[in-house]
Chain A
Amino acid sequence: MLVSIYRYNPEKDQVPYMEDIEVEIPEGRDLMVLDVLHLVKAKDSSVAYRRSCREGVCGSDGLNMNGKNGLACITPLSDVVKKGKLVIRPLPGLPVIRDLVVDMSMFYKQYEKIKPFLINDTPAPAIERLQTPEEREKLDGLYECILCACCSTACPSFWWNPDKFVGPSGLLQAYRFLADSRDTATQERLADLDDPFSVFRCRGIMNCVNVCPKGLNPTRAIGHIRGMLLQRST
């Protein structure tokens, strides 16, 4: 199979280029894209990419595969290869450090901006803070985010304003804490988000929903935040 890989080594390349590499795929097994990258690296050890858990829970290997963002370790070739070819590029919209490795600091900065931690001003009880199953259920579809950046780097609004628009991943997390019955900083959190860029640069394009490898729905979470912000201002 022909694999075309985005290559860039800042020490020797003036500009990035695509390199075509022929990879022998073993018969009878539906490999994941990450397996293919291992085969490539066995041939050419200089190809750089991130990977860790190889089971879709750590979020290291978010990549753009034949035009769509996803995790290499849980994307089978049968889902992604078109006409016998696989094109692998780094996640779009972030600076490339080398090959398939992007600089994620802008993405992490947006995550940090939403204060991604529980805030509760009341003294902690001797046991856990009680929460009903119904209250807990509100966190489902939110807490599972693995910070892989597939969504934010598929979002045109994030491409345009990565410094000012929090982006789908960060906003999903913002809502995760707004929705947590154990958190008491709702008003403070909303005030932090109440500007023309942080939330309202979302145009409902829904690329984030389309690519999330965990099947999460940032657009819906953003909708809830919008609702809370509007309610707050009336």
Chain B
Amino acid sequence: MAGLRTLNYDAIVIGGGGSGMRAALQLTESGVKTACITKVFPTRSHTVSAQGGITCAIASADPNDDWRWHMYDTVKGSDYIGDQDAIEYMCSVGPQAVFELDHMGLPFSRTEEGRIYQRPFGGQSKGPDNPTQAARTCAAADRTGHALLHALYQGNLKGGTTFLNEWYAVDLVKNQKGAVVGVIAICIETGETVYIKAKATVMATGGAGRIYESTTNALINTGDGMGMALRAGFHGQDMEMWQFHPTGIYGAGTLVTEGCRGEGGYLINSEGERFMERYAPNAKDLAGRDVVARSMVMEILEGRGCGPKKDHVLLKLDHLGEETLNLRLPGICELSKTFAHVDPVKAPVPVVPTCHYMMGGIPTNIGGEAIMQDSNGNDQIIEGLYACGEAACVSVHGANRLGGNSLLDLVVFGRAAGLQIEKSIREGLVHDEASESDVEQALSRVNRLNSSTSGESTVAVKEDLQRTMQLYFGVFREGESMQKGLKMLEEIGERLKNVHLEDKSQAFNTARIEALELDNLYEVAVATAVSAEGRKESRGAHARNDFTERDDENWLKHSIFNPVTKELTKRDVNFAPKTVEAFPPKVRSY
């Protein structure tokens, strides 16, 4: 620890995407000494890739729209393991968060009345008794994530936020009482390793889609926050719940927004049939994402896939006309031409379900405070640790996230975490100093890599990890094959201990960062695998061939993965919203 430089803040936010920047803005504006630590320049964060929009009952498309309908859709979409107090909070304060974004400058598309344009998205209704398709997703063409992320960065520039750009967080520092007191981080440009002390540490590190071979996620989505939390002994919640987006471009994995179907596009099989009419007679192509993704795989498995290998289906858009496509889906036209060599104006786009979103994460309460289960199964708040956005599991998405709810989650809970931290700091949040050995502990990974002399390369281990997850923990899962997958992960874990960093240089050493990221991918993969094997039912995105039914008697619960014992326990789902009656579990049909 000698010679280790220390930086001091009241709060640090790890991650410069949507939730991190919303949290950082809240903290900076309230005068809390804050730094936002991000491994890429903020506008390179994965929020930038969100396309279709941000779902929220702002009553533009329908003046009678009601946030309670949005809440109902979200609860149903979650297959009833979304926490209803958190969903209530998100849907009710949502409009305020969206209007803030407009005031910040986000260039939303507009209606003739001058209001924000809203498009239909999957799983949207007008309440429990009215399955009429609603249009509730606020959009900036099909570049809403880009527009949102840039508006947030601009808001932070205006507010004077301190950014540590291109700094990589390695591991949490925990004091002897188990409180999180900061993080070890590397300045990528110089290679310097630094201890950043903070009273509050926010994990806003996004998802980990790169545990799979085929994903819509950016190359940077390596689950760094989840990895750090698990290594520190904290729990992961609902880690088996991974969303496979119905429309990833076949071969490339890049996303094609659900907004395509919202604007009137639909899926066809090799016989040219609009097959979603069979699987979801009412909502058709706008059923929940889990439902559509599974239907697509069924079509392919039954031999009605398209192309020479019959391994994908087609998304038909040409009937919408060139004008609509250029106005509403310009980015999609661009992506499709680049990655599928198809112009959607003329021909359908080849698509296949692709790993997209981690519904699970670090369990938190509404204020973003990280939670851990004690040995009696009671919730305990982890001192000093917070999480928001995809890295967190509040949980508003439960077993399946609705399209457009992730951007809302980011801004609502980024802000909420900021508010909570501001309050805690004002009330005198302090921790004991970390000891020298506490800091050493957090430095151990960097130290090991820096002194490696021989072993395997990062690339080979990463590829095997991704292939294992793809094969054994994909859209459909089965006990026996998951057991096999778990064995393979064990072997990969052994190889991981032996990864060799050949290049020991300091300046912008991306090989070192990639090796550190691989550890995080592995942590998340194991959590996913154990949780998937352990949840013996089918619910939302978790579909098992050996347990095909939802089992409310045993599994209307969150799963909690303990990284120390590698065991799974259960945690109650919240059915106690404050201002409305809870929505009881029902059969989920679209």
Contacts and interface: CB of A to CB of B under 8 A. Distances in A.
Given A52-B218, A54-B218, A124-B103, A97 B189 contact: yes
A55 B248 CA distance: 12
B507 interface: yes
A25 to B, nearest CB: 16
Interface stretch (A129-137, A192-200, A204-212, A222-230): A129-137
A125 B254 CA distance: 38
A35 B350 CA distance: 21
Given A132-B110, A133-B110, A136-B109, A50 B40 contact: yes
Nearest to B59: A127
A92 interface: no
A179 to B, nearest CB: 10
B511 interface: yes
Given A55-B335, A58-B44, A124-B103, A117 B158 contact: yes
Given A52-B218, A112-B157, A45 B511 contact: yes
Interface string B80-106: 000000000000000100110011110
Contacts, number: 154
Interface stretch (A15-23, A142-150, A157-165): A142-150
A126 B58 CA distance: 11
A120 interface: yes
A128 B218 contact: no
B338 A128 contact: no
A45 B338 contact: no
A46 B105 contact: no
A9 B505 contact: yes
A146 B43 contact: yes
Interface string A169-184: 0000000010010110
A115 B157 CA distance: 8
B111 A129 contact: no
A48 interface: yes
Contact of B157 (A10, A116, A124): A116
Which secondary structure dominates where chain A touches chain B?
loop
A59 interface: yes
Interface residues of B, number: 60
Contacts of B339: 55
Contacts of B338: 55-56, 74, 76
Nearest to A99: B508
Contacts of B95: 127
B458 A52 contact: no
Interface in A10-52: 10-12, 41-42, 45-46, 48-52
Contacts of A10: 507
Nearest to A34: B219
B147 interface: yes
Contacts of A131: 110, 114
Most buried by B among A9, A99, A129, A131: A131
Interface in B203-252: 218-220, 252
Contacts of A76: 338
B157 A53 contact: no
A45 B114 contact: no
Contacts of B155: 117
B116 interface: yes
A118 interface: yes
B505 A12 contact: yes
A74 B457 CA distance: 27
B16 to A, nearest CB: 11
Given A128-B115, A130-B114, A54 B103 contact: no
A125 B114 CA distance: 14
Interface string A65-101: 0000000001010000000000000000000011101
A35 to B, nearest CB: 10
Nearest to B217: A53
B113 A130 contact: yes
A53 B511 contact: no
Contacts of B447: none
Most buried by A among B140, B219, B254, B459: B219
18 contacts: A9-B505, A45-B457, A45-B502, A46-B509, A52-B46, A53-B48, A58-B46, A58-B48, A58-B218, A97-B508, A116-B157, A127-B115, A136-B107, A136-B108, A143-B147, A146-B43, A146-B48, A147-B41
Given A57-B146, A116-B154, A118-B104, 18 more contacts: A45-B459, A45-B514, A46-B503, A51-B219, A52-B40, A53-B46, A54-B254, A55-B252, A59-B44, A97-B508, A98-B507, A98-B508, A99-B508, A127-B95, A131-B110, A135-B110, A136-B107, A147-B41
Interface of A: 9-12, 41-42, 45-46, 48-60, 74, 76, 97-99, 101, 104, 108, 112, 115-118, 120, 124-133, 135-136, 139, 143-144, 146-147, 177, 180, 182-183
Interface of B: 40-41, 43-46, 48-49, 58, 95, 98-99, 102-105, 107-116, 140, 143, 146-147, 150, 154-155, 157-158, 189, 218-220, 252, 254-255, 331, 334-335, 338-339, 457-459, 502-503, 505-511, 514
Q: Name the 8 nearest CB pairs between A and B, nearest first.
A: A118-B105, A130-B114, A128-B102, A117-B154, A45-B511, A117-B158, A46-B503, A58-B44
